[in-house]
Amino acid sequence: MITGKHLIAGQWVEGDTTFSSQPAHGPAADYAQGTKAHIDAAATAAEEAFWSYGYSSAEIRAGFLTAIADELEARGEALTATGTAETGLPEARLNGERGRTTGQLRLFASHILDGAYLDRRHDKALPDRTPPRPDIKMVERPVGPVGVFGASNFPLAFSTAGGDTASALAAGCPVVVKGHPAHPGTAEIVAQAIHAAIKTCGVHEGVFSLVQSNSREAGEALVTHPLIQAIGFTGSLGAGRALFDLCAARPTPIPFYGELGSINPMFLLPHALKARGAEIAKGWAGSLTMGAGQFCTNPGVVIALKGADAQAFAAAAGEALASVSAQTMLTDGIAAAYRSGREAVARTAGVEELLAAACEGRNAAPYLYRVAGRDWLDARVLAEEVFGPLGIIVEAEDFAQMKAIALGLHGQLTCTLQMEDADLGHARELMPVLERKAGRLLANGFPTGVEVCDAMVHGGPYPASTNFGATSVGTLAIRRFIRPVSYQNMPDDLLPLELR
Amino acid sequence: MITGKHLIAGQWVEGDTTFSSQPAHGPAADYAQGTKAHIDAAATAAEEAFWSYGYSSAEIRAGFLTAIADELEARGEALTATGTAETGLPEARLNGERGRTTGQLRLFASHILDGAYLDRRHDKALPDRTPPRPDIKMVERPVGPVGVFGASNFPLAFSTAGGDTASALAAGCPVVVKGHPAHPGTAEIVAQAIHAAIKTCGVHEGVFSLVQSNSREAGEALVTHPLIQAIGFTGSLGAGRALFDLCAARPTPIPFYGELGSINPMFLLPHALKARGAEIAKGWAGSLTMGAGQFCTNPGVVIALKGADAQAFAAAAGEALASVSAQTMLTDGIAAAYRSGREAVARTAGVEELLAAACEGRNAAPYLYRVAGRDWLDARVLAEEVFGPLGIIVEAEDFAQMKAIALGLHGQLTCTLQMEDADLGHARELMPVLERKAGRLLANGFPTGVEVCDAMVHGGPYPASTNFGATSVGTLAIRRFIRPVSYQNMPDDLLPLELR
């Protein structure tokens, strides 16, 4: 049922070489290794497909997105079986993520039928003005073929038919996916679903390709291919920045929409800390360890004013985290990076270890550290994301230092305030700072669990996103793959469908 | 009245060194030379100003934009006198450009009062859903301090208080302008007007600075300054790409919104060519030579099917162009680049010279060339912009070759179709191609004269713009300087003004 092949414009294609998957459970399998030639074939077909798909009606695209959702649902059991074996994520998570994936495909279908995203504008002719004003209409158009990188931590919702693919296809852009090697079998089943939907709907087969790969060649070929017009990526800062740099250095630069990570700081304001410290600690431990801490919105850092309440919070958090058993991480490499990130934190001056359970292989147990505000400000390594269930409690000397810590933050996907009404004064001082640092601000919640909706921003200043205006979750994600075009005195017959 | 100083956060600041202006008419004058330290002082003040101006009401910002327009109008005579002397542009042009500049300031004032640009979104809480949905609101927020480069060819409308500055200030972003050395006196008068408006309105003085410069230091310091969050630029491909590269290479990359040039091809479809060839030729000559051809939207290239009608068109265009006298260009450097660009065209294989009047110094006379479609496709140098009144007529062998020429185009600000009803079939085939190449498509007009309105796109695929989603003219230009932010379960007291 899983062939190990690429899907390139409707054809299942073998590779000259293969790579071996590294599932968390069960036997490994061989997958075709993607090359520059595979990417070129896929991009060329995507460009060809654009001439029809890029000019198709919203009804056709919405029908296609819905058909993909249907086909994914029809493959639900296989997706969960293969997905859990490859990633080590639990069954409930895979089932939930499938619902999220089909939900966002259907959401984009209704979003494009609604049409508000087209931002249609019309300045009517004023023939009697001096000089006369021509008739000018505007509409958003798709940009052309888009490259998407599968993400390790969401084998469905941020991968082959995830949010990047859904929003690009919704816009009218064909997609070439570079599959993530952590879940090639899951990727292939999703590609089979999309292939079936292509046949059902009769859209051009070049509209979607999946190139499997565990090397850099395919990814670099994708971002540098002259026919590719934009990139969607979720992953690490190192890999993301390297690909961003390649996009910027092209003869014709293209936008790289990368979501590169975040420490998602949570500020515990004094009255909330006093009133609900233990409860918040328990909630934090849950958010921090959910999915082995492998969420972009994992709240890795808590900032509190030092004192008895902060001590009690640390004790409660330590207790809650100690009861969480070790979980399987997505890949051996991610587990190794988690442990080396932990070592970098542990050996930083002033860092105190509160919880450190032994864990080995692909397993991750939670770690908890504490550091004084001054030491945090001095040691910039602490501000870098450690991907996994590692928490740091920063004890600020006073509120001024808490604000200095906020001012020193890199860009974040989220910042959270834990507050009571009596904390409003402090919250008011922090808000303008946090707003410049993050794409989403929360009060009295936890940032994991990113709602797919109209008002969601899953992005933020660098490095949360390489593009501060972009979100990779929610309907606004479609804006990454469209561009405005004006039509001056254009006969109706020649206007895009959406302007007639 | 003109001091030769920088305006940095409300202070008139001398330079350690100066540079000399090179006016078209009248005596030269000395201007402070901008350094890294001047840019740093201006950017630091802009960041400080952001904490108030970036959170000010639309009414305050609209009042400020209107006050700037009033102050510019009060200095109308001085602006025209200094502007014409520095640039060699005629008085009517400076007066018209002032109206355009004050008009767009007022347009942005009404645009932000209207508030649609904020794209406010609200997903209400669903407490009974499993899992419960939080309350999520979204609004567009200003990005922070913005750097703007004055453009040589529009001393008012694309410079110190031009469209980039107006849209950034409208969004709530303080602005640091690197003045263009071709019109430092004009720039200073505009800065005086803004300074007066700052005092009248009581906004933070860091909200605007002008740093004069004729060297690379200030510009490079501006795009690499850590506090600057975005850049607006209109200028040449070479300078623009160098600055774009600096922006992309920053530790924290920022968007560079550059509008880098275009040849604005015009396609003469057969029936239009037959019916209105002579009339189109006359219109083309006017558009091509307007302002000595120094418009970004100058239609430098015409594509027609070869034959008697194309010959008649060339004869009529040559006649119309021959009657245009030499005009003063903006700078000696631009005039020199015009002549070397002309030489590169003239020595290209297959290029036939139809009109070449002698011109020297800062003067430009029109040139007209003709080339066969095959030679055009072979010689990519012909597809590069020659800034000035130079026209090329490309004679396509047949319609297939005309379409191949369209497919081979770089990104353009505009593409124009000259067509009759009987040309609709051909137009329908060209439209999807041209739409992928340009930000604005015109039928039966000329691209010079860019309307400032809601539906205008003055941008397009690279190199017309470094960012295909952006326009530097029209109300949509504000989108370059805003970013979406989500607020989850946030108390009303802590929301931005616009969401309360």
Which whole number is the average pLDDT over B148-157?
A: 96
Which whole number is the average pLDDT over B84-104?
A: 97
B104 with B164: CB under 8 angstroms?
Answer: no
Across chain B, mean pLDDT equals 97
A459 with A240: CB under 8 angstroms?
Answer: no
Residues in chain A within 8 Å Cβ distance of B134: 442, 445, 451
B453 in catalytic set: no
Residues in chain B within 8 Å Cβ distance of A490: 441-443
Distance from the Cα of B485 to chain A's closest Cα (Å) equals 5
Coil, helix or strand for B5? coil
**Among candidate residues A206, A145, A214, the one with its CA nearest the CA of residue A182:** A214
**Runs of H (alpha helix) within B235-331:** 237-249, 270-289, 308-322
**Among candidate residues A369, A347, A345, the one with its CA nearest the CA of residue A356:** A369
Place of tokens 């690197």: B178
pLDDT at residue B358, as a whole number: 81
A259 in catalytic set: yes
Is pLDDT above 90 for B278?
yes
Give the CA count within 13 Å in the CB-facing half-sphere of A5.
11
Is pLDDT above 90 for A162?
yes
What are the C-alpha distances in Å from A38 to residues A12, A144, B447? 11, 19, 41
A401 with A373: CB under 8 angstroms?
Answer: yes
Per-residue pLDDT reduced to its tens digit, A375-414: 999 998 999 999 999 999 999 999 999 999 999 999 999 9
What's the one-letter identity of residue B493?
D
Is pLDDT above 90 for A261?
no
| Cα Rg, chain B, nearest whole Å | 24
Coil, helix or strand for B262? coil
Is pLDDT above 90 for B468?
no
Count H helices and E strands in chain B, helices first: 14, 21
Return the residue of B nearest to A483 by Cα. B469
Which whole number is the average pLDDT over B215-238?
A: 97
| Contact call for A487 and B441, based on CB within 8 A | yes
Per-residue pLDDT reduced to its tens digit, A44-54: 999 999 999 99
Per-residue pLDDT reduced to its tens digit, B320-367: 999 999 999 999 999 999 999 999 999 999 999 999 988 889 999 999
B438 with B450: CB under 8 angstroms?
Answer: no
Question: What residues contact B130, with CB distance under 8 A and at least 6 apart?
Answer: none
Please, what sign has the CA dihedral across residues A145, A146, A147, A153?
A: negative
Among B486, B490, B492, B500, pick the best mutation site for testing chain A contact (most A Cβ within 10 A).
B486
Return the residue of B nearest to A456 by Cα. B486
**Runs of H (alpha helix) within B301-331:** 308-322
Across chain A, mean pLDDT equals 97
The shares of helix, strand and coil residues in chain B, as percent rounded to the nearest 5, are 45, 20, 35
Is pLDDT above 90 for A137?
yes
Is pLDDT above 90 for A357?
no
Per-residue pLDDT reduced to its tens digit, A466-492: 998 899 999 999 999 999 999 999 999
% of chain B surpassing 90 pLDDT: 97
B206 with B173: CB under 8 angstroms?
Answer: no
| Contact call for B245 and A248, based on CB within 8 A | yes
Tell whether A411 is within 8 A of chain B (Cβ).
Answer: yes
% of chain B surpassing 70 pLDDT: 100
| Contact call for A248 and B252, based on CB within 8 A | no
Which whole number is the average pLDDT over B8-33?
A: 97
ipTM above 0.95, yes or no: yes
Per-residue pLDDT reduced to its tens digit, A285-310: 999 999 999 999 999 999 999 999 99
Per-residue pLDDT reduced to its tens digit, B470-492: 999 999 999 999 999 999 999 99
- Count of Cβ atoms closer than 10 Å to residue A493 Cβ: 11
How far apart CA B155 and CA B151 sit, in angstroms, is 7
The pTM of the full predicted model, rounded to 2 decimals, is: 0.97
Per-residue pLDDT reduced to its tens digit, B358-377: 888 999 999 999 999 999 99
Higher pLDDT, A130 or B128: B128
Residues in chain A within 8 Å Cβ distance of B466: 253
Tell whether B400 is within 8 A of chain A (Cβ).
Answer: no
Our measurement of the distance from residue A128's CA atom to the centroid of its chain's CA atoms, rounded to an integer in Å, reads 51
What's the one-letter identity of residue A433?
V
Altogether, the residues listed in chain A come to a count of 500
How far apart CA A46 and CA A400 sit, in angstroms, is 54
How far apart CA A210 and CA A45 sit, in angstroms, is 12
Per-residue pLDDT reduced to its tens digit, B408-426: 999 999 999 999 999 999 9
Q: Exposed, middle or buried by CB within 10 Å (0-12, 13-18, 19+), for B185? A: buried
How far apart CA B274 and CA B280 sit, in angstroms, is 10
